[in-house]
Amino acid sequence: MTLDKEAATVTAPTLGLELDHIVLVAQDVERTVAFYTDILGGTPHRLAEWRSGSALYPSVLFGPWKINIHPAETPAAPRAVSPRAGAADFCLRFPRPVAEAIELLTNANVPIVHGPAKEECAREWRTSVYFRDPDGCLVEFACELEEGP
């Protein structure tokens, strides 16, 4: 099921924009990188360079996009006006049933703070669960929609 067809027509991606990366500020960069790699399956990028001081921050790759993990005191510029750890709230499409997302989080001892719940996403309705990363950012897994009888 798609969302409002009129809205979908009006908001067609006429510029062809796609997400390239997001930036998260972390109090403990190592812990945050480990969370997004070990639990969510990303691939660390420039971690060794960051550890040696030759990169300002590491990243975690997820296919065609990435998360840049900025230390709270990073000199990286430009920056958001008020960058701080735990301030982000974002949604990741989880291309499987919600039961698999719950199992993944439960096995990793990551508490679910909300859901499962039916949520409106960018392209359609999905079944979502919400959890927090080590800095308190709210992360949503938008899973395949499960309709009841």
Chain centroid to CA 95: how far?
Answer: 14
User: Residue 104: which CATH number?
Assistant: 3.10.180.10
Which are the contacts of 57, defined by CB distance < 8 A and separation ≥ 6?
Answer: 29, 46, 50, 68, 69, 70, 71, 74, 76
Domain count, the chain: 1
What confidence tens digit (pLDDT) does each residue in 60-91 have?
Answer: 999 999 999 999 987 778 888 888 999 999 99
What confidence tens digit (pLDDT) does each residue in 38-48 have?
Answer: 999 999 999 99
What's this model's pTM, rounded to 2 decimal places? 0.86
Residue 76 CB neighbours (<10 A): 13
Which amino acid is present at 117? A
Q: How confident is the model at residue 149 (pLDDT cuts 50, 70, 90)?
A: very low
What range does the domain containing 115 cover? Answer: 17-144
What confidence tens digit (pLDDT) does each residue in 17-56 have?
Answer: 889 999 999 999 999 999 999 999 999 999 999 999 999 9
Identify whether 111 is part of a domain. yes
